[in-house]
Structure 1
Amino acid sequence: MLFTRKNYPAGDTAIPVLHIIKSLGRGGAELLLPESLGKHNKEKYDFHYLYFLPWKNQVVREIEQAGGTVVCFPAKNNVQIVLKVRKIVAYVKTHHIQLIHCHLPWAGIVGRLVGRLTGIPVVYTEHNKWERYHRLTYYMNKLSFRSQQYVIAVSGEVARSIKTHYRHEKPGIQVVQNGIDTDKFSLRRPIERDIRKELNIPAHVTVIGIACVFRPQKRLDAWLEIASLVHKKYPDTYFIIAGDGGLRDEMHQKARTLNMKSCVYFAGLQTDIKPWLKAMDIFMMSSEFEGLPIALLEAMSMGCMPACTDAGGIPEVIQDNINGLLVPVNNPLQLADRLTAILPHRDQVEAMKQAARETVVHHFSMQKMVTHLENIYDNLLAKED
């Protein structure tokens, strides 16, 4: 049976909003949730977070500490996720949810079904380009796409991908670029850990790093090959890879094959990435595809010079030779040539570090992103009245 906002108890001051996402591991989309919650108006909105993969729960505590309510409906696969629809409907009714905000395709698919059964408006955030999805995911996402009120794309490139594959006027699509807390990710704030000291890395040498989930699209094998080429020309360069994932053993073996184990440090999964970013001079990404990487924005905010492929929304952040280095996505090894050319010129590196920080502060702040989100929420809820 459908129900509408008229069923909600009168007098509630905070509007209940339910975020639905497949997991709460330490991926970019997942990390946005606790960070954005810290900037939201919690007197106006009461945020709930629902996820399905219980073994990917690394940001649950951060969401709860920021004032969110978190619930897990355990599911082992995408079919089981869809079968949770009735249980989610019951949760929506019990907690008087007035707006559903879904992230990534399978959460979007199930959220749209819940929206149709309850009459609750659904917002969907697309974090990736459609052509990168598995065929089944692609078609299920496309088939259900009309059953939502609004779509947010994290970059212009992602928005263009949606419009290429889904040629309908509705639902409306708006680009809301990812943001980060530039006060939190700042060298001006005291950071107790000194990673360089812990790893015996001299203060004057260059450190090139990355923080990511070990997924195929990150092309960490190419990343290590680039690192090897740079290290052969500049042997006093060090490398840090922070993160974890299914390719961990393969990447460790790749480092051994390249004889890089002495200069590459695998930091593992980190709950606080700031000390590691502080230790880096350059944040390098050799990705095959991206939406708009949160880790990149965090690194730039911490004063790292970015050196990246022009994957996804990255060119919307980096201007080549102004606030970082940019190479074609189909030629990631070109980063080795660009880096070896610029490393002797510390003044240029420092200038791009500063420009990177200024770019994020002025254009990619979390407060700016949250303001856009709340405007979308307000407009959708006003239409329901």
Structure 2
Amino acid sequence: MKKIKILHIIKSLGRGGAEMLIPETIKLHDQSRFEFHVIYFLPWKDQMVERILEAGGKVTCLSSSNNIKLLQQYPKVVQYCEENDIDLIHCHLPWAGFLGRLVYSKTKIPSVYTEHNMQDRYHIITKTLNKLTYNSQSLALGVSDDVTKSINTYIKPKIPVKTLLNGVDTKAFQINQKKGMETRNSLGIPGDALVIGNVAVFRFQKRLVEWLQVFKTIEDKNPSVYGIIVGFGPLEEEVKAEVERLSLNEKVFFPGMQTEVKPYFSAMDIFMMSSSFEGLPIALLEAMSMECAIVSTDAGGIKEVIRDEQDGLVCKVDEWQKLSDLCQILIEKPRKLENYKKAARERVVKNFSLRKMVDELEVIYSDFVTK
């Protein structure tokens, strides 16, 4: 039986949520039925390349230094589709989506686009291009009900729009106490300390400066608390300047960009998010799978995952200062902390497994190709 050939198109293969989903889903797909190709454009953001290759995918970089040059690569993508007999294109994030729509207009190869963000949060240029081009594809998938609603509200597309919730490989993401202790030791964190962490790209919507301010309030009351923030990004200097200002140099650690984050999740007790907006963050699902207790704002799809006082503790986006009070509840009540760790994993195993997401994707892929 001829395999169905899927081409993923994405701007970069750094360690963002959308980027990480590609190797994780390829790994679980039925590769006796499907063959996976990936094209990306920023050669310096290639952390996921090796994982994709290990998972059985094929990777090509069409080097582009900016978004305009990325769009100008569309003839090469058309040629790649023809030479490799691609059956379906799956695009991720706006600029790859714009390019994919050019390819669709030229080839009519079925094209699926995964929307990871709310439309009102995009730059005016992105929003305008979305409105102009959104119908030049076969299907849009929102990663949460909020994201799907925003597509229908702001764009009003004529194509189908469905919600396909993000997922996590709950078998792979399981807490490892030994690795967690090794990570603490490597950073100089005492084994019996309580650790509050985050894994994020250092962008404004993550509000990591505010995260540090919340942490400072917590640490003032609990000197034995430590912090870990894994990641990097355009606001790294600003974030680290805030660490200096708050005198947290010896209390909050920055391991930088990490391809393997599970040892860091294993070192955390509480995963705290202060985001102003989100789609449905992969790092949140990973943290839950790794039995981190969740304390977060209710940004975007987070409120679809975390039921307050059942799976974790949440506050309104504009009331982020309350995160310190929520963490304090868990610090003062260790049994409650342990209960929320277990509840987080139970929630993600039952409702947000990557296996469920992959099964739904395979139905979508098959339906379009066999029409």
Aligned to 2:222: 234
Aligned to 2:362: 374
Aligned to 1:283: 271
**What aligned pairs does 1:340-355 form with structure 2 within 5 A after superposition?**
340-355=328-343
Q: Alpha carbons of 1:233 and 1:190: their partners in 2 closer, same or farther (altered >3 Å)?
A: closer
Partner of residue 204 from structure 1, selected from 181, 189, 192:
192
- On the 8 A contact 1:155/1:177 being kept in 2, the answer is yes
**Matching of residue 56 in structure 1 with residue 45 in structure 2:** yes
Aligned to 1:18: 7
Q: Deviations over 1:97-117 (max 9, x none)?
A: 010000111111110111121
What is the RMSD computed on CA atoms of the aligned residues?
1.3
Q: In the aligned structure 1, how far is the partner of 2:253 from the partner of 2:350?
A: 33
TM-superposed CA distance for 1:382, in Å, is: 1.9
- On the 8 A contact 1:14/1:43 being kept in 2, the answer is yes
**Matching of residue 251 in structure 1 with residue 239 in structure 2:** yes
TM-superposed CA distance for 1:192, in Å, is: 8.2
Gaps of 5+ in 1: 1-11
**What aligned pairs does 1:157-306 form with structure 2 within 5 A after superposition?**
157-168=146-157, 170-187=158-175, 191=179, 194-306=182-294
Q: In the aligned structure 2, how far is the partner of 1:270 from the partner of 1:109?
A: 29
**Matching of residue 118 in structure 1 with residue 107 in structure 2:** yes
SS of 1:181's partner is coil
Q: In the aligned structure 1, how far is the partner of 2:178 from the partner of 2:221?
A: 34
TM-superposed CA distance for 1:200, in Å, is: 3.2
Aligned to 1:75: 64
Aligned to 1:357: 345
Q: Alpha carbons of 1:174 and 1:90: their partners in 2 closer, same or farther (altered >3 Å)?
A: same
Moved over 3 A (4+): 188-193
SS of 1:333's partner is helix
Q: In the aligned structure 1, how far is the partner of 2:193 from the partner of 2:249?
A: 17
Task: Give me the TM-score of the superposition, normalised by structure 2.
Answer: 0.97
Larger mean CA deviation between 239-248 and 95-104 belongs to 239-248
Q: In the aligned structure 2, how far is the partner of 1:257 from the partner of 1:187?
A: 33
Partner of residue 138 from structure 1, selected from 123, 127, 132:
127
Gaps of 5+ in 2: none
Paired amino acid for 2:222: Y
Q: In the aligned structure 2, how far is the partner of 1:298 from the partner of 1:160?
A: 25
- On the 8 A contact 2:207/2:275 being kept in 1, the answer is yes
Q: Deviations over 1:28-84 (max 9, x none)?
A: 000000011110011111100001111111111110111100001111111111111
SS of 2:319's partner is coil
Q: In the aligned structure 1, how far is the partner of 2:144 from the partner of 2:360?
A: 14
TM-superposed CA distance for 1:205, in Å, is: 2.1
TM-superposed CA distance for 1:343, in Å, is: 1.2
Q: In the aligned structure 1, how far is the partner of 2:133 from the partner of 2:121?
A: 18
Structure number having the greater helix percentage: 2
Aligned to 2:309: 321
SS of 1:56's partner is coil
- On the 8 A contact 1:13/1:43 being kept in 2, the answer is no
